[in-house]
Amino acid sequence: MKKISRRDFLRNVGLGTAGLTLFAGVGTANATEQSKRISGGNLPLKIRKLTETPSVCAYCGCGCGILLYTSHGKLVHVEGDPDHPINEGTLCSKGIGISDANVVVKKRGIREPNPNRITKPLYRAPGSSKWEEKDWEWTLKTIARRFKKTRDESFEEKDNHGVTVNRTLAIAHFGSASLDNEENYIMQKMMRAAGLVNIEHHARL
């Protein structure tokens, strides 16, 4: 085996690095030209006739911004929001697949709305074995009435040691990462004002 001097080794490394740099530059230029050919150059985008709606990803607690594209009320495309400060247009594997959250895949890859997806409030009365459809006005009023009733019955002004606590331990609140900062702030203040102690967030769990 031929011995190589330190000088020859450094020279060969330098030549190799220069060659790789040149090759990378040519490869990048070729990739750019290929991308233009695939996208059709200055042809209009395929989503130009779709309705764009900015939203927030419904999965983990990162709060990434997404753009939803709909046609006649049907979701057909999802991509990251490049103007959003958190993800800057990128999406993880869950976020990019959010368009499949309300559909089922039939044979041959055809996507259709999931017939089992719940779109209306359902209520099951105590002791009943069946669910009833209710409108949102009834649902919200019922929740508010039961919330106040439970709070009034379980509210503690002082604990066993006489310390002022103004709390209720009978109600817990579970937050959502789909809410933005302002909504979470208002929700937190409302729950604290009501005396809740058990406040948690699904992303932290």
How buried is residue 77: exposed, middle or buried, by Cβ count under 10 Å (0-12/13-18/19+)?
middle
Consecutive 10-residue averages of pLDDT for the chain (205 residues): 66 63 50 48 64 84 85 83 90 83 77 81 94 94 95 94 94 80 85 92 65
Predicted pLDDT at 38? 43
For 72-77, which contacts have Cβ atoms below 8 Å and span 24 or more sequence positions?
Answer: 75/99, 75/102, 76/50, 77/47, 77/50
Q: What CATH code is assigned to 51-113?
A: 3.30.200.210
36 near 29, Cβ under 8 Å? no
Predicted pLDDT at 195? 94
> What are the residue ranges spanned by the domains of the chain?
51-113, 122-201
Q: Quick one: DSSP state of residue 124? A: -
Predicted pLDDT at 174? 85
For 74-77, which contacts have Cβ atoms below 8 Å and span 24 or more sequence positions?
Answer: 75/99, 75/102, 76/50, 77/47, 77/50
Predicted pLDDT at 31? 45
Predicted pLDDT at 201? 77
